[in-house]
């Protein structure tokens, strides 16, 4: 399996923890095990998958803290989908190691704490799905720096400050083409 570049195990009934030993998959670029019954957390050994560009573990039963230390080692990662699980804890404050992210989907978890200002370093981000968590505080106005952002969903986080969210909506609306704004 040294040459394996894509592994799609989605839409099965796989249950239990993810495999701990991934040392034979160093060339893996895409890993999709979404829509299964996977439990536990993301093994720290996944940090060895330095070529990984897409990780989709959404719609499982994963729990435990958000795997910050493992994910921040995946510098090539451009798509991260961990939504519809039971992950808890905080999002990382520093997203610099994940600067290639274009899609970040962690909706429908148990994530708490403030939205990090560090999200603003994700200049290529096009999709940000954080809905239905337990996020609190102000929506960082720094998010308006994300010029490529075409989809953002923060709904269902009752403790987010609505005033700054409104400011963010105005900032994003200004980037819409005139023909769309008039609709």
Tens digit of pLDDT for each residue in 131-142? Answer: 999 999 988 888
What does the pLDDT read at residue 178?
A: 46
Angle value at C-alpha 88, between 86 and 93, nearest 5 degrees: 135
How far apart CA 82 and CA 44 sit, in angstroms, is 15
Phi, psi of 40 (to 5 degrees): 80, -160
SS3 category, 108: coil
pTM higher than 0.95 for the full model?
no
Query: What is the token pair recorded at 67?
Result: 């795997």
What span, in angstroms and rounded, lies between the C-alpha atoms of 16 and 36?
A: 10
CB count, 10 Å around CB of 70? 17
| Predicted confidence (pLDDT) per residue in 64-114, tens digit | 999 999 999 999 999 999 999 999 999 999 999 999 999 999 999 999 999
Note the pLDDT of residue 79. Answer: 98
- At 26-70, the pLDDT tens digits run 899 999 999 999 999 999 999 999 999 999 999 999 999 999 999
d(CA 16, CA 33) in angstroms, rounded, equals 12
């Amino acid at each position: 399996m040294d040459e394996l570049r894509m592994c799609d195990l989605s839409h099965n009934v796989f249950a239990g923890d993810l495999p701990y030993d991934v040392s034979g998959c160093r060339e893996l670029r895409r890993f999709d095990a979404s829509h299964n019954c996977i439990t536990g957390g993301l093994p720290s050994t996944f940090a060895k998958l330095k070529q990984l560009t897409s990780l989709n573990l959404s719609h499982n039963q994963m729990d435990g803290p958000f795997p910050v230390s493992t994910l921040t080692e995946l510098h090539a990662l451009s798509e991260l989908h961990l939504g519809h699980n039971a992950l808890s804890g905080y999002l990382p404050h520093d997203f610099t190691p994940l600067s290639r992210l274009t899609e970040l989907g962690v909706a429908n978890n148990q994530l708490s704490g403030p939205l990090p200002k560090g999200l603003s370093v994700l200049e290529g981000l096009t999709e940000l799905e954080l809905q239905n968590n337990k996020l609190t505080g102000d929506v960082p106005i720094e998010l308006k720096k994300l010029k490529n952002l075409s989809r953002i969903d923060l709904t269902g986080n009752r403790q987010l400050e609505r005033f700054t969210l409104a400011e963010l909506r105005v900032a994003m609306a200004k980037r819409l083409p005139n023909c769309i704004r008039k609709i």
